[in-house]
């Protein structure tokens, strides 16, 4: 257990990080992510209100669907990334734990009049992730197994009303399940009773999301990085790219049109030594061209993997680079992400 964002969080359980990672890839694991912030946004037009703070197309979000976006600042930097779900009569937001207080203050200061939000302090959140997750959840919540990726639906298990989204942070099929806190342990134990399900902690969560090429706020994205530099332009809909109307819009629009001087890339170090966060990336002559923002051993990838930012001239796949590990340059190359193919369920063909 370690302190994290004001909570005590499990890094690993008794099987260990490697076993938890592999079990998630093979069957299903439960991650306690109750430290995340859950917010309900209501009002005259909550989608239009939220669009004043984020570049995502929230007005175009259909009922029962969810979207990834971010809060931006006036320089186009990312204050936090978040998930937004159109529940029907309100928007459901999930924000990062470390940014939760700042995000709530940002909403309070920035939302236009006629908009209300409630911080759902009485709800917990668990993530059920892995190829067996759909069958496990469907045994208790029939129909959950046909939910497509980035969709949402209410269910009831053992008398508890749950808000379920088909989403997660591992690259695997799975769900995030919002539960009344009074019922959280009971519902978690019901799911854990399945032979295919084990608990997993922060260590496995980090190695899984890194293999999936997913950003971690405060590491791969922050106030100094823009969505375009981070390779997240896909999250900005065509209408928002054209019309702007969010903080930093002019800078982000210009970067979309003209490009950026640096880009987030995947990196495969040669050999077995991982290149961890803060590792300098250099060219063949020793010139610094970037820095690693996340790195470690990828159990499913079968070796070290990393991501970071490099000068745009070096961002092409297979470009050779050096990674300065323990003051010694070690060879590596720019690689496509994800390092392990994502296995999200997209629905019936």
Instruction: Count CB atoms within 10 A of the CB of residue 218.
Output: 14
**One domain, residues 199 and 79:** yes
Its domain, for residue 327, covers: 261-335
For the chain, what is the domain count?
2
**One domain, residues 53 and 193:** yes
CA atoms within 13 A on the CB side of 39: 25
**One domain, residues 306 and 203:** no
- Global pTM? 0.96
Instruction: Identify the pLDDT of residue 348.
Output: 66
Residue 347 has pLDDT above 90, yes or no: no
DSSP letters for 164-215: EES--SSSSSEEEEEEEGGGHHHHHHHHHTSTTEEE--HHHHHHHHHHTT--
Tokens of 299: 């159990």
Average pLDDT of the residues in 254-277:
97
Q: Which of 185, 211, 237 is the last residue of a domain?
A: 211
Instruction: Identify the pLDDT of residue 349.
Output: 45
**One domain, residues 46 and 137:** yes
Residue 344 lies in a domain: no
Q: What is the pLDDT of residues 160-172, one digit of tens each?
A: 999 999 999 999 9
Residue 50 lies in a domain: yes
Average pLDDT of the residues in 335-343:
98
Q: Which of 54, 178, 36 is nearest to 94 (CA)?
A: 36
**One domain, residues 144 and 10:** yes
**One domain, residues 118 and 185:** yes
Give Cα 266 distance to the centre of its chain. 16
Q: What is the pLDDT of residues 304-329, one digit of tens each?
A: 999 999 999 999 999 999 999 999 99
Between CA 271 and CA 79 the distance in angstroms is: 36
């Amino acid at each position: 257990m370690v302190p994290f964002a004001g909570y005590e969080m499990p890094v690993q359980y008794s099987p260990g990080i490697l076993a938890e990672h592999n079990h998630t890839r093979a069957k299903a694991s439960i991650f306690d992510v109750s430290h995340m912030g859950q917010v309900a946004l209501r009002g005259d037009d909550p989608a239009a209100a939220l669009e004043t703070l984020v570049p995502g197309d929230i007005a175009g979000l259909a009922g029962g669907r969810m979207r990834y976006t971010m809060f931006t600042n006036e320089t186009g930097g990312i204050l936090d990334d978040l998930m937004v779900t159109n529940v029907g009569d309100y928007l459901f937001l999930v924000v990062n734990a470390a940014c939760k207080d700042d995000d709530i203050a940002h909403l309070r200061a920035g939302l236009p009049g006629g908009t209300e939000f409630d911080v759902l302090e009485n709800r917990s959140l668990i993530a059920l992730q892995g190829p067996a997750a759909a069958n496990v959840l469907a045994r208790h919540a029939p129909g959950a197994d046909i939910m497509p990726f980035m969709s949402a639906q209410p269910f009831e298990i053992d008398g508890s009303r749950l808000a379920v989204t088909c989403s997660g942070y591992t690259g695997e099929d799975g769900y995030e399940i919002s539960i009344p806190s009074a019922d959280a342990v009971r519902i978690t134990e019901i799911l854990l009773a399945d032979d295919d399900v084990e608990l997993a902690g922060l260590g496995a969560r980090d190695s899984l999301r890194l293999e999936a090429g997913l950003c971690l706020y405060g590491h791969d994205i922050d106030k100094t990085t823009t969505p375009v530099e981070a390779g997240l332009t896909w999250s900005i809909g065509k209408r928002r790219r054209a019309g702007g109307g969010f903080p930093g819009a002019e800078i982000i629009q210009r970067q979309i049109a003209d490009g950026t001087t640096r880009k987030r890339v995947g990196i495969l170090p040669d050999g077995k030594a991982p290149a961890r966060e803060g590792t300098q990336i250099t060219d063949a002559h020793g010139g610094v061209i970037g820095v690693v923002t996340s790195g470690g051993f990828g159990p499913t990838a079968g070796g070290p993997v990393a991501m970071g930012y490099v000068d745009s001239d070096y961002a092409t796949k297979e470009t050779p680079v050096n990674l300065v590990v323990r003051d010694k340059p070690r060879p590596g190359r720019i690689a496509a992400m994800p390092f392990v193919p994502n296995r999200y369920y997209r629905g019936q063909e």
